[in-house]
Amino acid sequence: MLSKFYSIDKDKQLRIINACLYEFSENGYDKASTNEIVKDAQISKGLLFHYFRNKRELYLFLYEYALNLFTTEFYQNIDFSEKDLMKRIRQAVKNKMLLAKKYPLIFKFLEQAYFEESKAVKEDLIEKNKEIEHVAYRIFGDIAYSKFKEEIDVKLALNIIIWTIKGYSAQFLRDNDLDLMKNKHEEILQDIEKYIEIFIKMFYEEE
């Protein structure tokens, strides 16, 4: 079915993909309009449904495409020989930011898909996520947790770290446009660095 889509002009392919990413990330599944997509991609309505059986199939294809592109590139640039948690986290944050800069549309789309509530696709998304969830925690897998203070519950500490970074990101994205992020690259890293320093003081054994 999708072989049709893959065999067409790369330019057109990208035009369609980008139009979809934009429309879906801006409006969510239900409110996204295929009419807008074809207008934006400069193709006819019929052609879109020639490539994809229906809206749902289109969305799920897009999700897989975006997730795959993002995660593979993300993990390629993680140095798994580095066993220190904080250094690993620095890498991950930096990595994610570079990717958000490189693929802003995909980043936005995935952000929105994370909160997608439409009954038409929600279960499919959950299903697809299960397949890769264990991969996501690879970052915290082979870490030298011996550096932690004995009295600290590592699991709780990890949660604090993750939630802090998520909280910072959420606040940042609320206060700034994604396009603006490109310029604030350094600022973000410095902010995160401050938190990481606190975590080191808090959680690591003093040497």
Partner DNA sequence: AAAGTGTTGACTAGAGTGGTCAATGAATGT
Partner DNA sequence: ACATTCATTGACCACTCTAGTCAACACTTT
List contacts with a copy of itself (CB under 8 A): 30-31, 115, 151-153, 156-157, 159-160, 162-164, 166-168, 194-195, 198, 201-202
Region of 43 on the Ramachandran plot (φ > 0 left; ψ -120 to 50 alpha; else beta): beta
Token digits of residue 59: 């969305």
Token digits of residue 9: 């002009």
Please tell me the count of residues contacting DNA according to CB under 7 A: 20
Closest contact distance (angstroms) between CB of 134 and DNA is 32
Task: Please name the amino acid found at residue 123.
Answer: E
Task: Please name the amino acid found at residue 1.
Answer: M
- 166 interacts with, out of a copy of itself, DNA, none, CB within 5 to 8 A per kind: a copy of itself
- 195 interacts with, out of a copy of itself, DNA, none, CB within 5 to 8 A per kind: a copy of itself
Residue of 15, 20, 57 whose CA lies nearest to 36: 20
Instruction: Return the number of the residue (58 or 157) whose C-beta is nearest a copy of itself.
Output: 157
Q: 6, 7, 11, 72: which one contacts DNA (CB under 7 A)?
A: 7
Instruction: Return the number of the residue (29 or 199) whose C-beta is nearest DNA.
Output: 29
Instruction: Return the number of the residue (4 or 166) whose C-beta is nearest a copy of itself.
Output: 166
Closest contact distance (angstroms) between CB of 40 and DNA is 12
* Interface with DNA in residues 49-68 (CB under 7 A): 49-50, 54-56
* Interface with DNA in residues 8-47 (CB under 7 A): 8-9, 12, 32-36, 43-47
Q: Scanning the structure block, which residue is given the tokens 């038409």?
A: 120
Sign of torsion over alpha carbons 173, 111, 15, 48? negative
- 34 interacts with, out of a copy of itself, DNA, none, CB within 5 to 8 A per kind: DNA
What 67-75 contacts at long range (C-beta under 8 Å, 24+ apart), as own/partner pairs, is 67/110, 67/128, 67/132, 69/103, 69/106, 70/99, 70/103, 70/106, 70/107, 70/110, 71/132, 71/135, 71/136, 73/99, 74/99, 75/135, 75/138
Q: CA 29, CA 175: separation in Å to the nearest integer?
A: 25
Closest contact distance (angstroms) between CB of 1 and DNA is 12
The footprint of DNA (CB under 7 A) covers 4, 7-9, 12, 32-36, 43-47, 49-50, 54-56
